[in-house]
A and B are shown apart, each in its own frame.
Chain A
């Protein structure tokens, strides 16, 4: 016994070390966190007002201390089951209060559960429009689309705005994923037929969507990076099917994303409600020439 004691102590100390350091280590930032990069977070299908939304919100808020992201992109379904004043409060204002109070901006896209009138709600920063674009930093342009209603005027607007965006990083976000291995919804082929040619023509770099209540990183498609992030409050466990599209998926817990754009790469980290990093990496920017090659059949 006596001889075992130091060993026991050592094992306990090691276990404690794992417990204290190991779990938080999973939350550690894997992003470069460079001073001059563009940093933002992503939440999708967040507006339930449930305890899972609040849990993810807590993690999102906590991560801001380590990774001072400048804004949050919302992938749609920002308010489920109604858009009265109480819904805005319970499903948006309360969970993200510390971020909102600090002046951090949220930019929303509309989902199929959203009242399009949300565009007039100032904290969603939609400028009264269903689709809009903004330039958060020199060299990066972001496009928010309304994938529920992709009518000809929206497509014409997108063409025009993309043509004018020059050599900036082009990042799009909208609710319905063009590529997905989800069993419930799957890829939106009609939307893909309309949007992908525009994305290829103008050299879009990355696309973020929600709608599917899980996380999926798609293998680059014709030089474009696609992410689905629709699990900030809703979860469809086991819904990601086996598919050649998937580079990485996570459907056993809620999650949010952190993204950093440096000059030549898109860095990302996906964090679960358990505080674990479920995916992370750096994707190099694909040159327009390469994209053209990749998009030629």
Chain B
């Protein structure tokens, strides 16, 4: 038995693949793919710049959102937050969201039950929920200008520059 087992023991071992890590790698790959798409549509338009004219800000943001929306069509809930990724995120959020202080902080500036959809804009007149630092530290890091926010109990993934909802996890916290 020992001689039979030896070749395996001395063969080069692949690092063990942690299932949870694999799920988060999948999340990263999906977000990266989105960022790549944004870059592609972004490169096709004049660069967004700092301006004194607020109308320019709005036009640039809406233009970017329209181009991304068209390029992603037909995007749907779950494109990034697959069932496996959703389950892992709920696990990561559970200990933080149990803390009464964190719960209160999430609720404090939360816009509540507002309508939104994937590939649609975040309602411009609504406040953005404050993300407690401990919650952000528990979630996978995101590329620049992509962020997490709560809308009611749903965790949304938002493109800051385009003010676009990329995807969301329904009832991410209880």
Contacts and interface: CB of A to CB of B under 8 A. Distances in A.
A114 B54 CA distance: 14
A129 B128 CA distance: 17
A150 B134 CA distance: 9
A290 B131 CA distance: 33
B136 A112 contact: no
A145 to B, nearest CB: 11
Contacts of B48: 120
Please classify how large the interface on chain B is, using the bins under 10, 10 to 19, 20 to 34, 35 or more.
20 to 34
A11 B130 CA distance: 57
B36 interface: no
Contacts of B24: none
Contacts of A82: 124-125
B134 A193 contact: yes
A116 interface: yes
Contact of B131 (A88, A89, A148, A185): A148
Contacts of B109: 112, 148
A205 to B, nearest CB: 22
Given A88-B54, A185-B108, A83 B124 contact: yes
Interface in A192-232: 193-194
A264 interface: no
B132 interface: yes
Interface in B155-172: 160-161, 163
Interface string B35-77: 0000000000000111111110110010000000000000000
Interface of A: 81-85, 87-89, 112-117, 120-123, 127-128, 147-153, 155, 176, 185, 188-191, 193-194
30 contacts: A82-B124, A82-B125, A84-B54, A84-B124, A85-B54, A85-B55, A85-B58, A113-B127, A115-B124, A115-B163, A116-B160, A120-B48, A120-B57, A121-B51, A121-B52, A121-B57, A127-B50, A148-B128, A148-B130, A149-B131, A151-B131, A151-B141, A152-B141, A155-B133, A190-B102, A190-B133, A190-B134, A191-B132, A191-B133, A193-B134
